[in-house]
Structure 1
Amino acid sequence: MLGSNAKRKVEGKMTPPAKKTVPDGSVGDALRSVYEKAVEEDIPQEMLDLLGKLK
């Protein structure tokens, strides 16, 4: 399967990839939200046990 650059070159002249428009701040807000949720999660006991074995 051809990558996007190879496909555009095969079809003829090189064309720039289409730009995706995203409302300002929405990506940053989404990343902050996901990060905060991950930080707030408890560490599973199995993971703590494995980390304890490294000592």
Structure 2
Amino acid sequence: MKTATTGKAADQRPRIADTATQPRATPQSLATKLQGKDRDMGTALRSVYQRTVDEAIPDDLLDLLGKLG
């Protein structure tokens, strides 16, 4: 459908309401997202490390270590 004043199709015109509701990514919001991801990654790594430290040493490995000493 063409408008009478511009000759352009009505669906091709930019709509102010559409652009106004879309949030713009600011450097601060991007930095906040990256900090959140970094924090999540750090938490996951600390969790894996702690589970590894807390894991019991198998008896056969302790026997082997005892034979070395």
Q: TM-score, normalised by structure 1?
A: 0.56
In the TM superposition, 1:40-51 aligns within 5 A as: 40-51=54-65
AA matched with 1:38: T
Number of matched residues? Answer: 35
Higher relative contact order (CA 8 A, sep 6+): 1
Give the SS at the match of 2:56.
Answer: coil
User: Any stretches of 5+ residues in structure 1 without a counterpart?
Assistant: 1-20
In the TM superposition, 1:1-55 aligns within 5 A as: 23-55=37-69
Residue identity over aligned pairs, in percent, reads 54
Q: What is the alpha-carbon root mean square deviation over aligned residues?
A: 1.7
- Give 1 or 2: higher helix fraction: 2
How far is the alpha carbon of 1:27 from its aligned partner? 1.0
Moved over 3 A (4+): none
User: Any stretches of 5+ residues in structure 2 without a counterpart?
Assistant: 1-33
